[in-house]
A and B are shown apart, each in its own frame.
Chain A
Amino acid sequence: MVVFNLSHNNYQTLLQNFARQLKVKPENNSIVIPPDIGEGIIKVIQLPNGLQTLMVKINFHKDVLIKSGNTNQGDYVLNFDESEIHDEKNTDSGKTINSFVRLTGASFKHWEVVKKKSAVQYVKILFSKEWLSNYIGLREKMSLFEKYIPVKSDAAEKEKLNEEYRRIINELWVINNDDPLQNIYNNNRILLLVEQFFTKMHAEMLNPKGKYKLTADDVLKLKKVEAILKSPGKSPPDIAALAKKAFMTKVKLSHAFKQVYGTSIYSYYQNQRMQKSHELLSTGNFSVKEVSEKLGYTNLSNFVLAFTKQFDTAPKSLLE
């Protein structure tokens, strides 16, 4: 299977790597995908302020494994995804349509098999932690925001794209390569996307949809809980024990966790468990049975079911 590795802390280098892998020459900071793999382009925009943006628009003619995540510690990626993924199970349209934005940090890892006939469309904006704190002007009174951002990036929650995001992204796609004002156009659109995302996050932080007004301290505690869930072991999370660690009641912990991470403690754990199993299997060093035991499954077929549900492919397919 063709592998597209989109995780890198320098998109210029990433583009060079792709050029080598696909045996094509980059031109104007972009490469055209060879027809046997698909139709489309990968483009990098380097802004004078240091921000890098990766733009991908490809109709695939082959199944592709897309790897994303794992940037440098201290880097963030703002991912805009408007892909149409070919999906035979969807009997109506034959595809699943993505339309979301999410902020991810260094610990985020996402591997996805994209079937042929899928149209992938990404805009990924890469920036460092320093750039961000400078950008949002973190000061004493904003310390909650400063703590909130890394937590939200760990949660990698998907936020639906509104029409304003779509409009800006469309404008970004139609900027002409030989327009003398292209740098300004790119710069302004990209910064507007960043601004909108953080404005919304800030508003949500101050007026949470849930019932808890969180303090900076609460957010730190939740982060501790999340760190425990992130290294899934043999036993499922014990909510009572977690609540004790976080100095919260079980009820408050459950609600507050969902409020911040957008998903319940158990499904967060389950998702981490599946990502971990994918990672272990891909190394090729473990059998399916071994992996399922490592992650605390006593029944192999339960593991296979859960894995298939998550990745749309059976675990043993990774070993082939």
Chain B
Amino acid sequence: MFSIDYSHTDYAKLMSDMAHKMHVKLKRDTLVIPEDIANGYFKYIPLGNGLQCMLSDYTLNQDMYMQRNRSDKEFYILRFDEISISDTLMVKIDNDYIREGKQNRASVLLTSSLYDFAYQAAKNTAIRSINVLITRKWLKQYLDIKSMDKVLQKYLQLKTQSYNFAPFDIEYRALFNEVMDSGDVAMKRSILENRIMMMVEKFLTHLYQKLNQLTEDDKIKISPDEIKRLMEVESYLVKDFSTPPPPISFLSRVAAMSTTTLKNKFKKLYGNNLYEYFQKSRMHRAKILLLSQKYSIKEIGSQLGYSNLSNFATAFKKEFNRLPSQLIV
């Protein structure tokens, strides 16, 4: 097992420490992980506005244990993870342990430097993640810090797993993929910064709304374990837009729920029913491709499985209330 433990307040430092432990050299801001440990990389991205960000995308070739020790200097870490667990994944937040079995999950999690944080992942686990380090200085600059502190503290005290891992929704999913898959585009740094900032914005907006609704009583209860399985279902829905989504019978087996329960609980968690979710995600993907100015409407339509362009245009209009062509004039 490869293991690293660290305490840090800055990703540039963390990256060079990791490189040292892995006996490799950093290439600019990228750390290519040695093959005996994993296939993939860590990448450090300082954002222009003072936030720091670390992207990673790797598949483990041996078990790995990573631990961040608590620090006295307070800051927050917002993690967006897409993980395909091969065997088990153990996450430790302060003194709480969460153990996950073989599954796929895409979720958001906020932690604080005041808590220990660790995870242990088994060989063959694939991890893609965006970590954003939010300092108090940044919070002061962008937010009314008193009210924000209150909200963040309240959130962190709720260390039950169901609450802490918020699943991705359509917009997170679209933004996440755009950041992870951005190739060599012009103005890459700025585009990454804007996407990541949109993700931070979305998280904070949800947080405010959620904490206000926390006392609400719900008819449909979803257990932490069910959330996990629903995240698995979600990962199948967005896997490939060029073909129709997997049949519900298949998804209900993945979720280990009856089709009715799956339908109800998915809708409760993600706000849309299964097909809507697939379709909306597909349209968000279309929008990103359109705005990148790199493809024609026809190319995008066929990439997303539309053989008939006017069906594509109609579907797009249904989602965004305007035609693809109106987006690229």
A196 to B292, CA, bound (A): 9
Most chain A CB inside 10 Å of its own CB: which residue of B48, B200, B292, B294: B48
| Contact present for B194 and A137 (CB under 8 Å) | no
Chain B residues, CB < 8 A from A145? 186
Closest B residue by C-beta to A48 = B141
B residues near A181, Cβ cutoff 8 Å: 143, 201, 204-205, 208
User: A225 to nearest B CB, angstroms?
Assistant: 27
The answer to whether A162 and B328 have CB atoms under 8 Å apart is yes
Q: Which residues of chain A come closer than 8 Å to B294, judged between CB atoms?
A: 203
Chain A positions 116 through 141: 1 when the CB is less than 8 Å from some CB of chain B, otherwise 0: 00000000000000000011110000
Mark each residue of chain B from 202 to 242: 1 if its CB lies under 8 Å from any CB of chain A, else 0: 00110010000000000000000000000000000000000
Beta-carbon contact of B187 and A198 below 8 Å: yes
In the complex, A184 has a CB within 8 A of chain B:
yes
B144 at the interface (CB under 8 A from A): yes
Complexed CA–CA distance, A223 and B143 (Å): 44
Q: Which of B168-194 contact A (CB under 8 A)?
A: 186-191, 193-194
CB of B148 closer than 8 Å to a CB of A: yes
Chain B residues near A192 (CB-CB < 8 A): 194, 198
Query: Which residues 294-314 of B have a CB within 8 angstroms of A?
Result: 294
Chain B 243-277, CB-CB to A under 8 Å as 1, else 0, gives 00000000000000000000000000000000000
Instruction: Sort chain B's interface into a size bin.
Output: 20 to 34
Which size class do A's interface residues fall under? 20 to 34
A202 near B142: Cβ-Cβ < 8 Å: no
Q: Mark A47-59, 1 if CB is under 8 A from B, else 0.
A: 0110000000000
Cα(A192)–Cα(B288), bound, Å = 13
A282 in the interface (beta carbon within 8 A): no
Q: Is A23 an interface residue (CB 8 A)?
A: no
B77 at the interface (CB under 8 A from A): no
Using Cβ atoms and an 8 Å threshold, which residues of chain B touch A302?
Answer: none
Shortest Cβ distance from residue B72 to the other chain A in the assembled complex, whole angstroms: 26
Given contacts A184-B201, A187-B49, A195-B191, contact A162 B329 (CB under 8 A): yes
B98 within 8 A of A: no
- Contact status B186-A199, CB under 8 Å: yes
- Measured in the bound complex, the distance between the Cα atoms of B282 and A278 in whole Å is 53
Report the bound CA distance from A160 to B208 in whole Å.
37
A298 at the interface (CB under 8 A from B): no
Residue A183 at the chain B interface, CB threshold 8 Å: yes
Report the bound CA distance from A202 to B190 in whole Å: 14
Asked whether A238 is an interface residue with its Cβ less than 8 Å from the other chain, the reply is no
Are A184 and B327 in contact, CB atoms less than 8 angstroms apart?
no
Contact pick for A160, options B188, B292, B329, CB 8 Å = B329
Do A163 and B186 have beta carbons less than 8 Å apart?
Answer: no
Q: Given A160-B329, A183-B143, are A191 and B208 also a contact pair (CB < 8 Å)? A: no
- Are B141 and A188 within 8 A (Cβ)? no
A residues less than 8 Å from B157 (CB atoms): none
Per-residue interface assignment for chain A, residues 9 to 31, with 1 indicating a CB less than 8 Å from any chain B CB and 0 otherwise: 00000000000000000000000
Contact B201–A162 (Cβ < 8 Å): no
Across the interface, which residues of A come within 8 angstroms of B49, CB to CB?
48-49, 187
A311 in contact (CB, < 8 A) = no
Tell me the smallest distance from the CB of A120 to a CB of chain B, in Å.
Answer: 23
Closest A residue to B141 by beta carbon equals A48
Given the known A-B contacts A48-B142, A187-B142, are A137 and B189 also in contact in the complex, defined by CB atoms under 8 Å? yes
Is the beta-carbon distance between A163 and B48 smaller than 8 angstroms?
no
- Taking the complex as formed, is B95 at the interface, i.e. its CB lies under 8 A from any CB of chain A? no
Q: Min CB distance, B319 to chain A, in Å? A: 13
Q: How far is the CB of B29 from chain A (nearest CB, A)?
A: 13
**How far apart are the CA atoms of A162 and B204 in the complex, in Å?**
29
CB atoms of A202 and B197 under 8 A apart: no
A112, CB-defined interface residue at 8 Å: no
Bound together, the chains give a CA A200 to CA B191 distance in angstroms of 13
Question: Hey, which chain B residues are within 8 Å of A290, CB to CB?
Answer: none
- With CB as the reference atom, state the residue of chain B lying closest to A205: B186
The 10 closest A-B pairs by CB, nearest first: A203-B293, A163-B322, A183-B142, A180-B144, A202-B186, A163-B326, A48-B141, A162-B329, A136-B187, A137-B189
Chain B contact residues, CB within 8 Å of chain A:
48-50, 141-144, 147-148, 186-191, 193-194, 197-198, 200-201, 204-205, 208, 291-294, 320, 322, 326-329
A-B contact list, 8 entries, CB within 8 Å: A162-B329, A164-B327, A181-B143, A184-B197, A191-B194, A195-B187, A195-B191, A203-B293
